[in-house]
Structure 1
């Protein structure tokens, strides 16, 4: 899977994407080769709550040339050189006329910044500060942006994995950034692999996957699917997933929703100590999904979260900055967190009056006295990526049996039991199913609070 992720990253990286246009369509078409999903269009001019889908942007070429014709700033060398959504221009001008349209970063002098002008008709170029300093301020420059703005459409993809619980989880990412690797090509590729992997597994909950341009795409999708989205109970926004830094976790606006707790349980079981970011109104499309009309609690697991790394929104966020291995590591965290949601079942004891006699069912050691005896070398609690022990010490199967029989009151969920005991969710589920087979537990109705 790592090789496939790397190949997708390299194939998709050169494409010039924006909030509309062929770059998004080309990207989605490539992703559909890896996993099928539906692609839809929202026409320009469509009113989506307080927003309107803009005209579609087409870009063919752009450059700033010296008097001898040498291209000093060339869109063909880096699509970040052009401010996204720049309107057409073909004009010779002085440096003084050109300078207000140039963007650079003195504090990161080798980097080309990423800039946009989606909702204001304008044009501009981005270049490194080093390159800016080398320009002749006395020269005339030929400025060309061969672009078009005309009615078209905003393109997005979606897929629904149906479940049986009646509950739905959102998995969203955005596909509108040009050649930047962590933000958010990493999220685009992870979203694709996650969709394919979940499709191969039985699903208790339903999973709504959406891939769309950030902000306007999310708002358009909400407007088109308002009734359905009001039924979604929690979700994930997948972004900045493959950087070299520590794992990060941005909490939902609630902070303790089931999606928050499912992720935190994954961290606890794997002994991962992430950089924790409380919900903030600045961010990605969690800002849209969690607004008062929807209030979907949405979380993000990241590797070098947006805003937090020096190369954010610059040309230095390239394929050398990220790795497919980091992306797959983050994918595994999402898969384990989703598994926690899937396994969060509720059981009821069929032997609630005193402890059941485990020995006659082969669930208790025949020789007593060694349970929890330190000198007997009781095992530690297993990590999530290890096989749970069947021994009788702390964290072993006997502990799981006793806790499940003690806490299975028809209301306490497996996630709550895992949080109270520190036992792995997978171990608790497997032991609970064994106890159900022994006639000691029965499945209870799912908890009423839902995923949110």
Structure 2
């Protein structure tokens, strides 16, 4: 099977039991390696990083709840969510009342299998259990059941994987998504699929920056990768991070800007979204979002329900000691299918995934083309001189509109040339100047390239962190 698009990736890997350090996670990466030239990073169990501890590799061979005749009433074959991640081995007989302590259900969605993820972030907890639809557990007779969980732990490493498109520079824009949510199509895997196909697209282009996608176990994978780069001396090469998640369902997009809005990608993505006409919200770094503002209000007496901002994976990169400007792109969450077995490929759409990738690609195009114009002159150049010939007559002369206008009426290049000259010492980029003068980026870029051709300006590459930050 060729992974031609994002849906191919999602459909192939969502049912792998992709718990952070597990045989399912490792197997999915090994399979993906047959399709793309990824690199695998290994992290030894027991390694401690800022109080995160790399867990041992978890193997789940079989697991089930059986009645006294040996008939399974619930087992691993139902779905990857059917058994809690990192469950300890167990064999015993329990009554339903005792079993209840080891069964996770969600009465709000009684027909769905909920995702019990707690031990993925608390590896020191030693427990076991099952997730099942609430109505399934309620229907179980109040009698004795045999429980068998055949799991084991080994000292094999936790893994992340990277897939990159090399640029002229060793400076890296890192694109991060988690690969660790078993049985989930939109949560985690949609962002990873978009990131992988974005790299595929970039490989067909010439570009300055190196773009690198990384698939991680959520949070701990990002921390482990940063620790790896720190020890290898490569952490300083990371100039910006893009976190991706929840991109496959039908809802408005959410743009979470970097701390103090200091990443240029914040602005490039914002303008791209504005120009696309797509419904979106622009938010601060990890800003909480009211999931239903029409319902929750003081008037209705219903307290707001907030969803934590961003994708999760971007958090370590902005943390103290690294402070890498990090932007996140998602769609509005939570959705009714969130963290249940209903988050499956039928819930996501290739159109929505492709739309997200197109937005990202357009923003990256601006990043690659933006530059800071540096004046090569002192004083006021005579733009009408034949050697320069950049003078444009004003749209109005002697207070009257001209009848022989030979330029686009919407753009007064005379006014632009009169005032923009005083911005050159401010080290504003072409994009920032286009914003200031309310012009499309491509129009401003083409105009300043005329000045460059005439020898009036030279280019300076834009630093990833903006000159003026909030």
- TM class by smaller structure: 0.7 to 0.9
Aligned twin of 1:130:
135
2:453 is the counterpart of 1:437: yes
Q: Please list the CA deviations of residues 152-179 of structure 1 after superposition, one character each: whole Å capped at 9, or x if unmatched.
A: 1101112454444564322111111101
2:253 is the counterpart of 1:247: yes
Find the aligned partners of 1:374 and 1:186 in 2 and give their Cα distance.
54
Find the aligned partners of 1:322 and 1:57 in 2 and give their Cα distance.
29
TM-score (norm 1): 0.86
2:353 is the counterpart of 1:327: yes
Task: Sort the Cα spacing of 1:367 and 1:287 in 2 relative to 1 into closer, same or farther, 3 A.
Answer: closer
Aligned twin of 1:102:
103
**Residue 65 of structure 2 contacts residue 72 of structure 2 at CA under 8 Å; is this kept in 1?**
yes
**Residue 410 of structure 1 contacts residue 445 of structure 1 at CA under 8 Å; is this kept in 2?**
no
Task: Sort the Cα spacing of 1:392 and 1:85 in 2 relative to 1 into closer, same or farther, 3 A.
Answer: same
Find the aligned partners of 1:206 and 1:330 in 2 and give their Cα distance.
20
Secondary structure of 1:76's aligned partner:
helix
- 1:398 is displaced (CA, Å) by 8.2
CA RMSD of aligned residues (A): 3.3
**Residue 186 of structure 2 contacts residue 343 of structure 2 at CA under 8 Å; is this kept in 1?**
yes
**Residue 413 of structure 1 contacts residue 447 of structure 1 at CA under 8 Å; is this kept in 2?**
no
**Residue 167 of structure 1 contacts residue 450 of structure 1 at CA under 8 Å; is this kept in 2?**
no
Find the aligned partners of 2:138 and 2:385 in 1 and give their Cα distance.
79
After superposition, residues 257-276 of structure 1 pair within 5 angstroms as 257-276=263-282
2:304 is the counterpart of 1:303: no
Aligned twin of 2:175:
171
Aligned twin of 2:410:
394
Find the aligned partners of 1:43 and 1:13 in 2 and give their Cα distance.
26
Q: Please list the CA deviations of residues 107-157 of structure 1 after superposition, one character each: whole Å capped at 9, or x if unmatched.
A: 122221111324111111111112122111x22112222211121110111
Find the aligned partners of 2:185 and 2:152 in 1 and give their Cα distance.
26
TM-score (norm 2): 0.82
Q: Please list the CA deviations of residues 388-426 of structure 1 after superposition, one character each: whole Å capped at 9, or x if unmatched.
A: xx9613259888877765644471112211221232323
Match of 1:421 among 432, 437, 451: 437
Match of 2:384 among 354, 357, 366: 357
Task: Sort the Cα spacing of 1:301 and 1:367 in 2 relative to 1 into closer, same or farther, 3 A.
Answer: closer
Find the aligned partners of 1:15 and 1:228 in 2 and give their Cα distance.
32
Aligned twin of 1:42:
43
Match of 2:198 among 194, 197, 205: 194
- 1:269 is displaced (CA, Å) by 2.6
**Residue 393 of structure 1 contacts residue 399 of structure 1 at CA under 8 Å; is this kept in 2?**
no
Secondary structure of 2:187's aligned partner:
helix
Secondary structure of 2:374's aligned partner:
strand
2:215 is the counterpart of 1:215: no
Task: Sort the Cα spacing of 1:33 and 1:193 in 2 relative to 1 into closer, same or farther, 3 A.
Answer: farther
Q: Which stretches in structure 1 are left out of the alignment for 5+ residues?
A: 379-389
Task: Sort the Cα spacing of 1:140 and 1:218 in 2 relative to 1 into closer, same or farther, 3 A.
Answer: same
Matched positions, count: 436
Aligned twin of 2:126:
121
- 1:195 is displaced (CA, Å) by 1.5
2:218 is the counterpart of 1:224: no
Task: Sort the Cα spacing of 1:336 and 1:133 in 2 relative to 1 into closer, same or farther, 3 A.
Answer: same
Which moves more between the two structures, 73-82 or 340-349? 340-349
**Residue 101 of structure 1 contacts residue 124 of structure 1 at CA under 8 Å; is this kept in 2?**
yes
- 1:95 is displaced (CA, Å) by 0.4
**Residue 15 of structure 1 contacts residue 179 of structure 1 at CA under 8 Å; is this kept in 2?**
yes
- 1:346 is displaced (CA, Å) by 0.7
Q: Please list the CA deviations of residues 257-313 of structure 1 after superposition, one character each: whole Å capped at 9, or x if unmatched.
A: 3232222121233233412343238551222111111111211111234xx323221
Find the aligned partners of 2:394 and 2:133 in 1 and give their Cα distance.
74
Find the aligned partners of 1:374 and 1:86 in 2 and give their Cα distance.
78
**Residue 170 of structure 2 contacts residue 237 of structure 2 at CA under 8 Å; is this kept in 1?**
no
Find the aligned partners of 1:142 and 1:176 in 2 and give their Cα distance.
30
Which moves more between the two structures, 151-160 or 180-189? 151-160
Aligned twin of 1:314:
340
